[in-house]
A and B are shown apart, each in its own frame.
Chain A
Amino acid sequence: GAVVSQHPSRVICKSGTSVKIECRSLDFQATTMFWYRQFPKKSLMLMATSNEGSKATYEQGVEKDKFLINHASLTLSTLTVTSAHPEDSSFYICSAAGLAELQETQYFGPGTRLLVL
Chain B
Amino acid sequence: DAKTTQPTSMDCAEGRAANLPCNHSTISGNEYVYWYRQIHSQGPQYIIHGLKNNETNEMASLIITEDRKSSTLILPHATLRDTAVYYCIVSPDNQGGKLIFGQGTELSVKP
Mark A residues whose CB is within 8 Å of B.
1, 4, 6, 31-32, 34, 36, 43-46, 49, 51, 91, 93, 95, 97-99, 102-111, 113
B43/A93 in contact, CB under 8 A: yes
B99/A105 in contact, CB under 8 A: yes
A97/B41 in contact, CB under 8 A: no
Residue numbers in B under 8 Å from A93 (CB-CB): 43-44
Query: In the bound complex, how far is the Cα of B45 from the Cα of A36, in angstroms?
Result: 14
Quick one: closest A residue to B103, CB to CB?
A43
* Other-chain residue from A31, A91, A111 in contact with B96 (beta carbon distance below 8 A): A31
Chain B 76-111 interface 0/1 with A at a Cβ cutoff of 8 Å (1 = within): 000000000001000101011111111110000000
Residue numbers in A under 8 Å from B91 (CB-CB): 105
Residue numbers in B under 8 Å from A46 (CB-CB): 98-101
Mark B residues whose CB is within 8 Å of A.
32, 34, 36, 38, 41-46, 49, 87, 91, 93, 95-104
The smallest C-beta distance from A7 to any residue of chain B, in angstroms, reads: 13
A108/B96 in contact, CB under 8 A: no
Query: In the bound complex, how far is the Cα of B44 from the Cα of A110, in angstroms?
Result: 8
B99/A111 in contact, CB under 8 A: no
The answer to whether A111 and B97 touch (CB under 8 A), given A43-B104, A104-B46, is no
B93/A105 in contact, CB under 8 A: yes
Residue numbers in A under 8 Å from B46 (CB-CB): 1, 103-108
The smallest C-beta distance from A16 to any residue of chain B, in angstroms, reads: 27
* Other-chain residue from A91, A106, A110, A113 in contact with B99 (beta carbon distance below 8 A): A106
